[in-house]
Chains A and B, each alone.
Chain A
Amino acid sequence: MTPSRAHIWFVSPALLLMFLILLLPILVAFGISFTSFSLGNSGAEFVGFKNYEQIFTRSTYEKMFGATFRYVLTVVPLTVGLGLGAALLIHSLTRFGDLYKTIYFLPVMSALIAMAIVWEFAFHPTIGIINSTLERGCGTFLEGWNWYANGCEKTFPLWLTNRDYAIWTVSFIGVWQGFGFNMVLYLAGLTGIPRELYAAAEMDGAKSGWERFKLITWPMLGPTTVFVVTISFIRSFQVFDMVEAFYPQGGGPSKSVYVMMFAIYEKGIQQNLMGVGAAITVVFLLFVMFLTILQRWLVERRTHYV
């Protein structure tokens, strides 16, 4: 009896498509990252690790890493923390929970590029609602705060165009936009915790909310947390549209908001330096892959309760 080959025919379309549209582009990007290829040029030169060398030596890219990590390390803890906090508060409600859920989820559903325009107006130094509100507080007790007094005397910061504030302002919007998503994930995780466990904890003598959180809620949310943290990392590494909307040229004041995704876009598309763009892409992919592997490892090791 000859073994049937039918399985090859069943599997091959899926395999072929996966290779063509998922794996091949990565391999191509990997290949291009070692050349000085640019679109329109007939040929390209092999330059070895020169593109990578640039990324790790030039100050522009130092700023890129700085901005990216500042953004990621601000946004991830805050979105995870606020998402968990909001989920716990909403979960404890007997009424209006759905209403709050919808409200907090609104920024997630909106297009960030449109929201960026709204925030740009709000942060406008003269006509923006933020600074004009802050000015109203001048002459009150708030002036006891040095920073506030300074603002009243001169001007309040130009949130989006001041080198010292820009990345934090962008991070703030990132948090505002992102935590609702984590909240929904945490809410799903919370509904999966059996209520009897809390009754058992009460019988065992866990009196404070903090003790119950430590004993049950936090460990039971372990798998959710690993997922939420990973997805938050990947999402914040991918931040782009907001930066593009605020600073179409150059990535913010003194490149202080020059995040990786924007760098790829600027180098690869705007300046047509495909080789460098591809190299940044590969570095970016390595980050994301590292995070994913870390997540898998954590899921396998710690948060499995079987």
Chain B
Amino acid sequence: MSNIRLNNIAKRFGQTEVLKGVDLDIEDKEFVTLVGPSGCGKSTLLRILAGLEQPDEGQVLIDGKNVTTTRAADRNLSMVFQSYALYPHLTIRQNMMTPLKLRDLSTSQRLPFIGPFFARKEYKDLLSQVDRTANILKITELLDRKPGQLSGGQRQRAALGRAMVRNPLAFLMDEPLSNLDAALRVHMRAELTQLHQRLGATFVYVTHDQAEALTMSDRMAVMMHGKILQYGSPEDIYQNPATAEVAKFIGSPAINILSATVNDYAQICIDNLVLDLFAPTQEPKISIGARPEHLSFSDKTPSSISGFVHHIENLGADLFYHLKIKDEERPVVIRSAVGNGKRHQIDDLVHFELDLNSTLAFASDGTRLQTHRRLMDEIAS
């Protein structure tokens, strides 16, 4: 049982404000991901939660207990580091024994040679604990090797083993998959999710890879510029981003952002095209966002937008067309399943339509605008 609360955490390194008043609630047994571009303060937040870093302001509460001034060693959390941070001079077995020895044995029992002799039973217990964890992670045959003799994936497992071997209140992971190759990363994603279900423990996971966050977490917190912009389930964040920044960061390829205007009837217009979509705002200039899967090729109609094919990305099952359209600097990306209609060639003139139910509107400062298919007073009347 361990829910974690972060209250108004602020942290400065010299003049740079890394965290500007962050609040975060993590429920027991939840898999929470902190995701954001590098330098957004997500690792610092995790280190503050771990106790490796002191916040300048705010509190860390674990199970309702204020642990802000408690040192990391006394918080009973365990952490997997990006570099794995295995002790290079110890075998994997000794690496995994270290947290057990430091926590469960007295100083005299830890003495070299004499300790194991007088505390034979305790050592046996700890060794069987190590064996059990190694079994779960399938690293039994690696136990007598040193970290330097292992591959990246094996080291990652060993680091996981060292974190798992005792029963911590929560697991903290700082980009644990970023040093692995792409295939292994995808494999480990599934394995970590299964491990989370099996252990039934709280996981706090830091990553800059939005795909990891979307696939693994129960809830994810999108961080930028030292703040959490949005905190919610992956579906919610993907479909309902709170700001343009969140919308752009989550999803690959990125969401298409088009500049638009709002006319006197609160209708959204792109260039001369008036959309059947209303945004209640006084601002004339806004932007709209549409994900590649929410655009579709069409014939030339009054509601279609036209552009030239600029680049084609073939991903096997899907094709991503990059279109150059008038007055837009960035190309618009459209997803189209292979074998779905005619295949366009580079420099073709094509037309496409927006799925208005999924189109998002953002004010010029990036905040989300609610859109309606009909005007407010029409709804009222």
Contacts and interface: CB of A to CB of B under 8 A. Distances in A.
Given A219-B89, A306-B149, A202 B71 contact: yes
B102 interface: yes
A126 to B, nearest CB: 53
Contacts of B78: 203-204
Contacts of B90: 219
Nearest to A200: B85
A203 B47 CA distance: 11
Contact of A204 (B51, B99, B146): B99
B73 A207 contact: yes
A199 B85 contact: yes
Contacts of A220: 88-89
Question: Interface range on chain B: under 10, 10 to 19, 20 to 34, or 35 or more?
Answer: 20 to 34
Contacts of B71: 202, 207
B83 A194 contact: yes
A88 interface: no
Nearest to B172: A203
A45 interface: no
Given A199-B52, A199-B79, A204-B99, A215 B73 contact: no
Contacts of B77: 203
Contact of A211 (B72, B88, B99, B102): B102
Interface residues of A, number: 20
A200 B82 CA distance: 11
B5 interface: no
Interface in A182-225: 194, 196-197, 199-207, 211, 215-216, 219-220, 222
Interface string B78-119: 110111011111100000001100110000000000000000
Given A204-B162, A207-B71, A207-B73, A197 B102 contact: no
Contacts of A306: 146, 148-149
B148 A215 contact: no
Interface string A76-108: 000000000000000000000000000000000
Nearest to A218: B89
Interface string B188-204: 00000000000000000
Interface of A: 194, 196-197, 199-207, 211, 215-216, 219-220, 222, 305-306
14 contacts: A197-B85, A199-B47, A199-B72, A199-B79, A200-B79, A200-B81, A200-B86, A202-B73, A203-B72, A203-B73, A204-B98, A204-B103, A220-B89, A305-B147
Interface of B: 47, 50-52, 71-74, 77-79, 81-83, 85-90, 98-99, 102-103, 146-149, 162
